[in-house]
Amino acid sequence: MESQSRSYGFAYSFYRNLVRFFPHRSRCAFEYELLQTTEDANVWIQHQSPFGLAHLFSDLAVQLVVAYLRECIWDLRYEARLLIRRPVFTFVAVVSMSLAICAGSSFFSELNGTILRDVPGVAKADELITLQQPISFPAYRHFRDHKELFFSTAAYVAPVPFGVSFDGHKERVWGHIVTSDYFSTLGVTAEMGRVLDARDEEKQGTPLVVVSDRFWKSNLGSDPNVIGRAIHINGKLCTVVGVAPHGFQGASPMMFVADLWLALSAGESVAPELADNALERPQFTIFHFLGRRRIGVAPAQIESALDVMQRQMLSDAGHPATENGHLVWVASGGKLIPIRERALGFFAFLPMVVIALLLLIASSNVVNMLLARALDRRREIAVQLAIGAGRARLMRQLIIEGMLIASGAGALGFALTCWLMHLLSRVRLPHAMPVRFNVEVDLRVLVFTIGLTALTGLAIGLLPAIHATNPELVPALKEGANLQLRKRRAFSVRNLLVVSQMAGSLTLLLVTGYIVFGMKYIMSGATGFDAGQTQLISIDPIRDGYSPAQAEEFYPKILDHVKALPGVVSATWTEAIPMQPSGKMTFTTDVGGSKRVDEATKYIVGSDYFRIMGIRILRGRGFVKDDEKRGERSIVVSEALAQTIWKHENPVGRRISLVGRNDVAFDLMNGSTFDYSVTSPEQPYVVVGVAADVLETPIAQPGPAVYLPMTEEAYTNPPFQGITLATRTTSNLDGASIVRSQIAAINGNLTTFNAETIDDWIEQSMYVVKIGLWSYTLMGAFGLILASVGLAGVTAYSVSSRVHEIGIRLALGARPKDILRLIMSEGSKLILAGSCIGIALALLVMRVMAASMDPVAQSIQRSQSDLRIALGALGVLVIVGLLACYLPARRSARVDPVVALRQE
């Protein structure tokens, strides 16, 4: 019994300490009684010990939580009521924060949908490795043999267009040509039938294909008997052997979406991509590598090992690599966009800058407003403090206010993000291939938004909470509530906020201004061509199943017939069209005795191309039919190239040697493929003309370009865009239908695709950039409004809160002029400080962005010389700031000092 009463004594004092944690109000009312009653009750509590004690404490714990919850709910309702009573304030605060939160979540959603998202359908995506550049098949064989690095490997060709026909339908479908271990490396099993596997290593019988679930549902009508169904690929009979699981669109759906997979063993009989003994040529770097690394092997290890192998291979072939850096770049193969791990931070960093600025401005706006309100409530808070409310409780109230605003903003911002992302997902990239982003919002984005909102709420609630509950009661309770004669006023929180607001807004405006205007200049500049009414339409006879000899016949026939149609000014076959070049090309020139190596964009075009597209020939001539003959080596260069290499001399008649030939698929990522090729014997081309510069991508100045004539090979080995017929017509003609019917009249089995006018095509190409421009403009405009409102509000408030001080000064003999001067000078100093910081920050930010994004660099360069932007942004903000100082100051200076002194 004694030990029991001792332990009870200890428990009781512990209990007593815990009771102190009750909320203030309950404590005042009941603390003493509670303890008294507990003491009285100890008899029967002891009676049931130890359960009695446990029950006692759990009872206390539960009641503590309940009491606090009640308080919080009460606080919530109280603060909500206060906010509702000031609708304008609440509206401005919520909307500003919501746009900032929307920016943050949109960005994360984009990251999530691309870089962070696993390729759908694959197993254990983290183990997958890919290389950033495609390799040749001999190289692949070499890598494949190194089993210590990889659990399994595969290679595939992409993008591959297939001319598919079944049941009389003809379509152009995109897919991959794959090695037999493609599906096993990815860990994908068939939904129906089977996927390609080791059995398909060797060619046997009818070529087999696997189709995607999407293709099966939308094109094959969910045919339950699809396995074993006959289908013609590129004119050759094939059999469907399996359907891939739902959602799987290949190993790189973001870049090379696939609906069809053909085994490599099917070989060149089906796929023209594999022609010319593609599997043995070290220059044919058309294979994308895929590997599942062994557990414990790091990507960096793989990278260095493969790099060594690659160098070895090159030196074995007699052409040792000359670059010092990496030859091989490993990237994560399991994510939608394969990037190196280190590059992840980089991708994430850049747009973060603009968004961080936006958030900063929005937050400082709201913090300012909350501060102002908190100071308005100082009297109320002082009284509460005086009668004993804990500072913590009051801080909690103000933080709850911040949280409420942030929650409203978060909800609104999230809704905006959903809508924005939905729009973005429906954007089609203007490429021949149907790449589609899927950045729709999912759970991860929701969680991120909630986290962001909570953090923001805390941030904007904390500062006013700390500041306003400062227990300096005496001044607050006296009439002179807002007298601020602290010594260190220069660094008061409010002043710092004004300065940071000014700086942040200016930076945001300058950066977006330069980028937007720069891009606009470039975009509105002449495109370099003037195609008038030109209709484009593409065909691909090889993939319709025709042999090269047969295909060759179609082209001149169609061309002659189309040219003969009434209303047709001219027509030509071409591989490249403006803004869709044929790739890049390295070449060497001999200038003044020294050799130089350069790179240029390559366009393979037909005769009459320049005339039809309205591209001016500055010197020499364009192409004629004879240039297409075998053995001819004519080349046309662009103005930019001519100026770079030959400066002002006439380039016509000069020679250019092309380094290797790249018959390789156009790489979407960076417009070129890494050329491990061997320098082929001298093939000097003769420059026959100089063409005016033509826009290559909508946001960059045109770089050097070369034009090559269509050759026999170009006709018989069409790239994935097909061969395009460009027909220029007089104004009121429906080019599409007459050309199509003409082609059909000659051969009804030819599939035509990508039929559009050149204007439509340009429009498409510009579309994505326009969206980018729009969003930057929007952000800038919004930043401007936010900044102005915030700046105005803060300075206006700070001035009007000095009314008391002004009253005293007036009473002591100051003139209204002096007051104005005082306030304006102080305000101007703040604005000046903010401007300087803002400009410095803007320069820094632009330098960083320009260094990492080429189009940004170009547009900044373009608009740098335009001082109007800088002055405009600066001017607007300075004027707003000064006005916001001046108007309230003037009002206060005019007020009767007696009234001012009485006022709080």
Chain residues that interact with other proteins, rule: CB under 8 A = 26, 29-30, 32-34, 36-38, 40-41, 55-56, 59-60, 62-64, 66-67
460 neighbors 101 (Cβ within 8 angstroms): no
Q: How far is the CB of 21 from other proteins (least distance, A)?
A: 11
| Token output for 300 | 């960096």
∠ CA(397), CA(402), CA(404), 5° rounding? Answer: 90
Q: How far is the CB of 60 from other proteins (least distance, A)?
A: 5
CA trace torsion 555, 560, 565, 571 (10° rounding): 70
Q: What share of the chain is helix, strand, coil (3-state, %, to 5)?
A: 55, 15, 30
398 neighbors 389 (Cβ within 8 angstroms): no
Residue (31 or 197) nearer to other proteins, CB:
31
Q: How far is the CB of 837 from other proteins (least distance, A)?
A: 53
Q: How far is the CB of 6 from other proteins (least distance, A)?
A: 21
Residue (8 or 437) nearer to other proteins, CB:
8
Q: How far is the CB of 18 from other proteins (least distance, A)?
A: 10
Q: How far is the CB of 15 from other proteins (least distance, A)?
A: 9
Q: How far is the CB of 467 from other proteins (least distance, A)?
A: 32
How far are the Cα atoms of 202, 546, 567 from residue 554, in angstroms, in the given order?
Answer: 35, 10, 22
How far are the Cα atoms of 80, 215, 459, 462 from residue 466, in angstroms, in the given order?
Answer: 20, 61, 11, 6
Q: Which of 509, 360, 501, 361 is nearest to 873 (CA)?
A: 509
Q: How far is the CB of 59 from other proteins (least distance, A)?
A: 4
Residue (24 or 436) nearer to other proteins, CB:
24
Q: How far is the CB of 438 from other proteins (least distance, A)?
A: 50
E strands in 169-251 = 169-178, 192-193, 208-211, 230-233, 236-243
The SS3 call for residue 175 is strand
Residue (55 or 815) nearer to other proteins, CB:
55
- 808: β partners: none
CA distance 413 to 31: 45
Contacts of 660 by beta carbon, 8 Å cutoff, 6+ apart: 283, 586, 675, 677, 678, 679, 680
Q: How far is the CB of 388 from other proteins (least distance, A)?
A: 17
Residue (60 or 473) nearer to other proteins, CB:
60
Q: Which of 232, 193, 229 is nearest to 213 (CA)?
A: 193
Residue (23 or 480) nearer to other proteins, CB:
23
CA distance 150 to 144: 8
Q: How far is the CB of 398 from other proteins (least distance, A)?
A: 24
- 621: β partners: none
Residue (45 or 884) nearer to other proteins, CB:
45
CA distance 550 to 570: 25
Contacts of 856 by beta carbon, 8 Å cutoff, 6+ apart: 515, 846, 849, 850
Q: How far is the CB of 41 from other proteins (least distance, A)?
A: 6
Q: How far is the CB of 385 from other proteins (least distance, A)?
A: 23
Alpha helices in 525-601 (DSSP H): 548-564
Q: How far is the CB of 45 from other proteins (least distance, A)?
A: 9
Residue (33 or 323) nearer to other proteins, CB:
33
C-alpha neighbours within 13 Å on the C-beta side of residue 244:
27
| Token output for 477 | 């309770």
CA distance 678 to 136: 13
Residue (12 or 140) nearer to other proteins, CB:
12
Residue (52 or 282) nearer to other proteins, CB:
52
Residue (62 or 564) nearer to other proteins, CB:
62
Residue (34 or 226) nearer to other proteins, CB:
34
Residue (67 or 481) nearer to other proteins, CB:
67
Residue (55 or 169) nearer to other proteins, CB:
55
CA distance 241 to 194: 6
Number of helical H runs and strand E runs in the chain: 25, 21
Gap between the terminal Cα atoms of the chain? 66
Residue (42 or 863) nearer to other proteins, CB:
42
Q: How far is the CB of 390 from other proteins (least distance, A)?
A: 18
798 neighbors 885 (Cβ within 8 angstroms): no
For residue 871, count other CB atoms closer than 10 A to its CB: 10
The SS3 call for residue 262 is strand
| Token output for 229 | 């169904």
The helix (run of H) or strand (run of E) holding residue 531 is none
What number of residues does the chain have? 904
Alpha helices in 701-757 (DSSP H): 712-716, 735-746
Q: How far is the CB of 51 from other proteins (least distance, A)?
A: 12
Residue (14 or 346) nearer to other proteins, CB:
14
Residue (41 or 386) nearer to other proteins, CB:
41
468 neighbors 377 (Cβ within 8 angstroms): yes
Q: How far is the CB of 902 from other proteins (least distance, A)?
A: 39
| Token output for 883 | 């006005």
Q: Which residue has the tokens 């269509």?
A: 710
Q: Angle, to 10 degrees, between the axis of helix 443-468 and the axis of helix 87-113? A: 140
Contacts of 637 by beta carbon, 8 Å cutoff, 6+ apart: 600, 651, 656, 687, 689, 690, 691, 704, 705, 706, 707
